[in-house]
């Protein structure tokens, strides 16, 4: 098993280019199932999750070509005829559930195992099933499998009990070719939803309201191939923003959309970081003011993103004063606190609240375990400022979500390397 060796580093300086968003690219790739045409997807990050989705598409009969020099994936869906997704692929990645709606819409049936992914809490697919049932799908969920079939799909009113990103996307994809009008209320509002809607509309769909809590979809008879560029990754953007702050550095972040990270910007400013808009991107400076504590509470977009909770907590272990972190989205997303406490952070967890004592408890390098994707990034950030050397294992989690992570960090002056254990 590979691991990261992270040594105490000085302030990070330089510039970093943000990759395309994994969480936008995955549903967009799944949406190619809806057409027998050819789709060219640009700005796709080269990640293990992307590789799994490409393997899933091939298993369904699609022809998939990857050009990683151009970060482009071309999908020819004319050969799609298989409705069952291989078990071994589904278990690798939760986003495999995204093909359920498109398969149901195109082939009238779908068989898929209960999806895997990071163990950050209970993420049931009941909202996916609720929406597809409203459209006319017959969904049977067993302990380990999901079976879906439908004679045809018809537009309907769907109210989501929670603004689930995945459910919103699955319902939106299926509704794009359903008969009549579908309205999704209490829909997720994330930028990735908007990007998927933009892609579908380029294919000929009629979707309005993406990015608000009410999405209206007028079903069309057929979708066609198209070309689309994926938006920049807002979580990678936020991670490198925090990297600049935690090391008290000065980093220019290129190919980012500041509007997508407004909550992170606001909290970094509360801590004392300086954020400057420049022609080429956004500069984050942690070297001007003394950084102080702040409190964060995760919420669905446009609130503070749960995916940024762990990296930001790493920062809060280094600032003056005590902070409170409240996690409202996933119940198991404090597993990294035990690992940070191994490094000396002495974080106290009570239910949904974590109390971070700040720089009263200096960090020291040790052996820690990446419990999930964002936790792994947080431990690397902590290792950059901890005394001595930090060994981060289970880094396959990190590599699911960050393209060229070691290279990008090293390019800013971080002392980090990947080794085989």
Active site amino acids? 118
Beta bridge pairs of residue 13: 250
Helix (H) or strand (E) holding 65: strand 63-67
Beta bridge pairs of residue 357: none
- The span from the CA of 89 to the CA of 87, in Å, is 5
Cβ-contact 29, 48 below 8 angstroms: no
Query: How many angstroms from the chain centroid is the CA of residue 250?
Result: 25
Residue 350: burial class (beta carbons within 10 Å; 0-12, 13-18, 19+): exposed
- The span from the CA of 242 to the CA of 311, in Å, is 7
- The span from the CA of 18 to the CA of 307, in Å, is 16
281 closest CA partner among 329, 319, 315, 237: 237
Phi, psi of 356 (to 5 degrees): -110, 115
C-alpha neighbours within 13 Å on the C-beta side of residue 276: 13
Taking phi over 0 as left and psi of -120 to 50 as alpha, with beta for the rest, 391 belongs to: beta
- DSSP class per residue in 84-106: B--HHHHTT-GGGGGGHHHHHHH
- The span from the CA of 395 to the CA of 373, in Å, is 8
Residue 308: burial class (beta carbons within 10 Å; 0-12, 13-18, 19+): buried
Cβ-contact 385, 247 below 8 angstroms: yes
């Amino acid at each position: 098993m590979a691991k990261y060796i992270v040594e105490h580093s000085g302030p990070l300086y330089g510039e970093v280019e943000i990759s395309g968003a994994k969480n936008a690219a995955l549903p967009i790739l799944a949406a190619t199932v809806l057409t027998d045409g050819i789709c060219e997807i640009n700005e796709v990050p080269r990640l293990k999750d992307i590789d799994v989705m490409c393997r899933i598409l091939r298993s369904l009969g699609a022809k998939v070509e990857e050009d990683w020099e151009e970060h482009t994936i071309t999908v020819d869906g004319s050969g799609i005829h298989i409705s069952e997704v291989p078990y071994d692929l589904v278990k690798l990645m939760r986003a495999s559930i995204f093909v359920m709606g498109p398969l149901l819409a195109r082939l009238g049936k779908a068989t898929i195992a209960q999806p895997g992914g990071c163990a950050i809490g209970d993420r049931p697919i009941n909202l996916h099933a609720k929406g597809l049932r409203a459209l006319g799908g017959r969904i049977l969920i067993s302990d380990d499998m999901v079976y879906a079939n439908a004679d045809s799909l018809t537009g309907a009113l769907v109210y989501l009990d929670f603004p689930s990103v995945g459910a919103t996307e699955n319902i939106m994809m299926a509704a794009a070719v359903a008969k009549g009008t579908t309205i999704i209320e209490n829909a997720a509002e994330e930028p990735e939803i908007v990007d998927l809607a933009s892609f579908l509309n380029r294919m000929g769909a009629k979707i309005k309201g993406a990015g608000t809590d009410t999405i209206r979809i007028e079903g069309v008879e057929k979708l066609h191939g198209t070309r689309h560029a994926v938006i920049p990754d807002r979580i990678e953007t936020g991670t490198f923003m925090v990297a600049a702050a935690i090391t008290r550095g000065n980093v220019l972040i290129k190919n980012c959309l500041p509007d997508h990270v407004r909550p992170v910007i606001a909290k970094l400013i509360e801590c004392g970081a300086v954020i400057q808009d420049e022609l080429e991107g956004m500069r984050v400076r942690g070297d001007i003011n003394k950084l102080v504590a702040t409190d964060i509470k995760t919420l669905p977009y446009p609130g503070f993103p749960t995916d940024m909770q762990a990296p930001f907590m790493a920062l809060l272990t280094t600032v003056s004063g005590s902070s409170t972190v409240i996690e409202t989205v996933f119940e198991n997303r404090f597993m990294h606190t035990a690992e940070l406490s191994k490094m000396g952070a002495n974080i106290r967890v009570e239910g949904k609240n974590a109390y971070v004592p700040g720089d009263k408890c200096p960090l020291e390098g040790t052996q820690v375990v990446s419990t999930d994707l964002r936790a792994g990034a947080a431990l690397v950030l902590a290792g950059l400022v901890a005394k001595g050397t930090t060994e981060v294992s289970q880094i396959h989690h990190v590599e699911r979500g960050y393209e060229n992570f070691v290279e990008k960090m090293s390019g800013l002056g971080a002392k980090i390397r990947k080794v085989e254990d």
